[in-house]
A and B are shown apart, each in its own frame.
Chain A
Amino acid sequence: MTDYNFAYLDEQTKRMIRRAILKGLAVPGYQVPFASREMPMPYGWGTGGVQVSAAVMTTDDQFKVIDQGADDTTNAVSIRSFFERTAGVATTTQTAEATVIQTRHRIPERDLTEGQILVYQVPIPEPLRFLEPRESETRKMHSLEEYGLMHVKLYEDISRHGHIATSYAYPVKVEGRYVMDPSPIPKFDNPKLSDCPAIQLFGAGREQRIYALPPYTQVVSLDFEDHPFVASKADHPCGLCGAEDSYLDEVIIDDAGGRMFVCSDTDYCTARQADGFKGKDAA
């Protein structure tokens, strides 16, 4: 640990990132450029999130990392151990205990609280890119609030599939102003973005952008009057803990094509099982 500055990044760099974070918090949903640093992991492995986590982390923090809801995937384990080594922080898998949570693709099921920071790993921060690849043009569209194109994307979805088929990275409007990509979380999680007591920070390493939602920010999912937004999920209870309100992964359980639905949030599921809840597939 003595080989590194606390949390790997030098203080100068952390200050630069904190300035970007503060600017992001001051202008919710606005993408702030920052000078992304080389991290000892490839792009696409959460370098943006890691830099944001490093910039906000203190010695007192309890750090949690989830990848698609799970604490035990290779990616989550390696980021957690990275900060154990470089910052010596305590780590936890319990959402309630954690003060800083870095996540890829999920928002924890358990309600977040004031004082917590949720750090998202973001691959593509620009929600307008799908239809307008020119960066100069998308910047202008954001500054002039020209967001008709976002609805063109949803229109195309409905015309092709009969309903809005976008099921993750579902675009939102922040405080009636900026349209934002919430990172590839399932749209089931979108309602949790809004009015959330925790600070939410978004880091895109390769694209060098940071954006943020301060606590209790209003976040609305875009839709049409006759095709309203629906936070859908698989229509099953969790096979292990029986939860009916949590986002589920479908897992194959045997060679005969047997499958079951289980909570993608492993902490949530484990805690419920410990409290005695049982799903139909529980041993």
Chain B
Amino acid sequence: MTDTALLSVRGVTKRYGAHIGCADVSFDLYPGEVMGIVGESGSGKSTLLNCMAGHLEPDAGAVVFDTAVDGPRDTLLMSEPERRMLSRTDWAFVHQHARDGLRMGVSAGGNVGERLMAVGARHYGDIRGSAIDWLGRVEINEARVDDRPTTFSGGMQQRLQIARNLVTGPRLVFMDEPTGGLDVSVQARLLDMIRSLVRDMGLSAIIVTHDLAVVRLLADRLMVMKSGHVVEAGLTDQVLDDPKHAYTQLLVSSILQV
């Protein structure tokens, strides 16, 4: 780990009218780290993630990203073109529902190739080669490269979404419940795959989930949210094995069957 945080989140607050989405969230994410965010439904996990990824505009706070060119910059103060450029180069976002993150009318190869073309790739053979390589890495048979994701199972669609996001070698990946809505055996295989990719590519990631087994497997560190606030944070094993906050204790005892 280096001294400079890849992402520094400071006092991020988002209200929906009078209602709190997330309040005063601060943390640092270092290169190569995976941060898990857990909490019950409605606790503000997605709100926080979307604020960090630039999909939602927080009411207050800073989201400072260590950009490759200019060093640390508050992404909330960037112009929209800069932020959109970041989202298709250094950042990636994996949606819970694959169809929100895929182009369903475009072939698997086109889906994976889109980000390459968005940053200027203009050699069809190379683009297709990368797409096929990435399909292999997410365990989708190369023969499916010209098929549309509508013909894929839920688990395959999710793996395709991951390939499409990782093909340009992002430095930070946001994931919102990447295994949600899939049946258990499919979940396990997907988790395994995400874990190897994260490890092999040295990815930094922020993963939202309400499944403690997911964070146990993937996350170095953990934040527990309740009613929009972070109630506890620390190393994953510490938080799960020795929860300090009463809410975390409840969460661990009621849900975690390890």
Interface residues, chain A, CB within 8 Å of chain B? Answer: 131, 144, 146, 148-149, 151-152, 155-156, 158-160, 224-227
Contact = CB atoms under 8 A, between A and B. Distances in A.
Interface of B: 80-81, 84, 88, 103, 105-107, 109-110, 113-115, 117-119, 122-125, 127-128, 145-146
A106 B80 CA distance: 39
Contact of A152 (B84, B110, B128): B110
Contacts of B88: 148
Of A146, A152, A226, most B-chain CB atoms within 10 Å: A152
Nearest to B119: A148
B105 A159 contact: no
A224 B123 contact: yes
Contacts of A152: 103, 106, 110, 113-114, 117
Nearest to A149: B114
Contacts of B115: 148
Given A156-B106, A226-B123, 15 more contacts: A131-B105, A144-B84, A146-B118, A149-B114, A152-B106, A152-B110, A152-B114, A155-B109, A155-B113, A159-B110, A159-B128, A160-B146, A224-B123, A225-B122, A227-B124
A131 B103 contact: yes
Contacts of A148: 88, 114-115, 117-119
Contacts of B106: 131, 152, 156
Nearest to B128: A159
Nearest to A155: B110
A158 B124 contact: yes
Contacts of B103: 131, 152
B127 A155 contact: yes
11 contacts: A131-B106, A144-B80, A144-B81, A146-B84, A146-B118, A148-B88, A148-B115, A151-B117, A155-B128, A156-B106, A159-B145
A33 to B, nearest CB: 21
Nearest to A143: B81
B117 A155 contact: yes
B160 to A, nearest CB: 15
Contacts of A131: 103, 105-106
A171 to B, nearest CB: 13
Q: Which 4 A-B pairs have the closest CB atoms?
A: A148-B118, A151-B117, A224-B124, A148-B117
B122 A156 contact: no
B87 to A, nearest CB: 11
Given A155-B117, A160-B146, A225 B123 contact: yes
Of B105, B110, B119, most A-chain CB atoms within 10 Å: B110
Contacts of A151: 117, 122
A213 B81 CA distance: 26
A131 B124 CA distance: 18
B143 to A, nearest CB: 13
A273 B121 CA distance: 48
Contacts of B109: 155, 159
Contacts of A224: 122-124
A131 B148 CA distance: 13
Contacts of A160: 107, 146
B68 to A, nearest CB: 19
B5 to A, nearest CB: 28
Contact of A155 (B80, B81, B84, B124): B124
Contact of A156 (B80, B107, B123): B107
A211 B110 CA distance: 30
A224 B116 CA distance: 13
Contacts of B114: 148-149, 152
A227 to B, nearest CB: 5
Nearest to B80: A144
Contacts of B128: 155, 159
A132 B113 CA distance: 16
Contacts of A225: 122-124
A152 B122 CA distance: 10
Contact of A226 (B80, B107, B125, B146): B125
Contacts of B125: 226
A225 B127 CA distance: 11
